[in-house]
Amino acid sequence: MPENLKSELSPSFTFSQSSLQDYFDCPRRFQLRYIEHLAWPAVETEPVLENERRQQEGQLFHRMVQQHLVGLPVEKLTRLANSPDISRWWENYLNYKFELDGYSKYTELALNAPSGSHRLLAKYDLVAILPGHKAIIFDWKTYHKRPKDEWMAVRMQTRVYRALLVQAGAYLNGGLPIQPGLVEMVYWYADFPSEPARFPYNATQYKRDWDTMTGLINEIGNHRSFPLTEDDKKCAYCPYRSYCDRGGKAGALDDSDAEMETAAAEFNLYFEQIAEIEF
């Protein structure tokens, strides 16, 4: 394990669902990733190439959907589907009735707001708004197994995305604050198109979430020690295993929720660098 780890977070650090999730899962992982900025020294999941392929396919699918939502023709985008997985997801997407007539659609929307002594940022696949009636957050997931709704309900993503839309989304709603009761988060699973996970919201949940996030952000900002998680299942797919003496062998995709965990972290990094598709 490295000695003399830094423990002070940069005052300009911007939090995201991913960094909060890392802290929640393991304070040491947060420290290594966001304070020490350590490269990822270990493979997160086995088999490596299979995992990489899945990530790349997921990224391409996200780009295709985004480009479709901003009006590029289906025929042109369909030609990009260069694997059986992407073709299947794309077909499922095109066949699904999202029923968003009349909604204003914001793709790859970034919202941020001050929270405690830092800022909190979220990047959304799609926010669909019918002013005064409904605000739906869509997130596309290309997991090969459908996660349990209970697992998704407590993810930081579910909590941060809904709360930040309420906190910072007024400009999407004709300048009026978005009432928590109008917000819904939908995870649409490309391999399970008829089983999206839907998470409505209310004022009590919003207050709980915002207070929790602000509290967590302040806690992290004031922390001087970042202990290793006591739940060593979290280490199986963590890239810092070698730093922590928590085993050299990566977890297998099918062993646990590693696919979802890994995909969530990877995708957040990808999303920050997303580029337009060139034709």
Residues that bind ligand SF4 (CB under 6 A): 26, 28-29, 32, 228-229, 234-235, 238, 240-241, 244, 246
Q: How far is the CB of 22 from ligand SF4 (least distance, A)?
A: 9
Q: How far is the CB of 118 from ligand SF4 (least distance, A)?
A: 21
Nearer to ligand SF4, 125 or 257 (CB): 257
User: What is the SS3 assignment for the chain?
Assistant: CCCCCCCCCCCCCEEEHHHHHHHHHCHHHHHHHHHCCCCCCCCCEECHHHHHHHHHHHHHHHHHHHHHHCCCCHHHHHCCCCCHHHHHHHHHHHHCCCCCCCCEEEEEEEEEEEECCEEEEEEEEEEEEECCCEEEEEEEECCCCCCCHHHHHCCHHHHHHHHHHHHHCHHHCCCCCCCHHHEEEEEEECCCCCCCEEEECCHHHHHHHHHHHHHHHHHHHHCCCCCCCCCHHHHCCCCCHHHHCCCCCCEECCCCCHHHHHHHHHHHHHHHCCCCCCC
Nearer to ligand SF4, 123 or 246 (CB): 246
Q: How far is the CB of 16 from ligand SF4 (least distance, A)?
A: 18
Q: How far is the CB of 20 from ligand SF4 (least distance, A)?
A: 15
Nearer to ligand SF4, 7 or 82 (CB): 7
Nearer to ligand SF4, 136 or 258 (CB): 258
Q: How far is the CB of 222 from ligand SF4 (least distance, A)?
A: 20
Nearer to ligand SF4, 24 or 106 (CB): 24
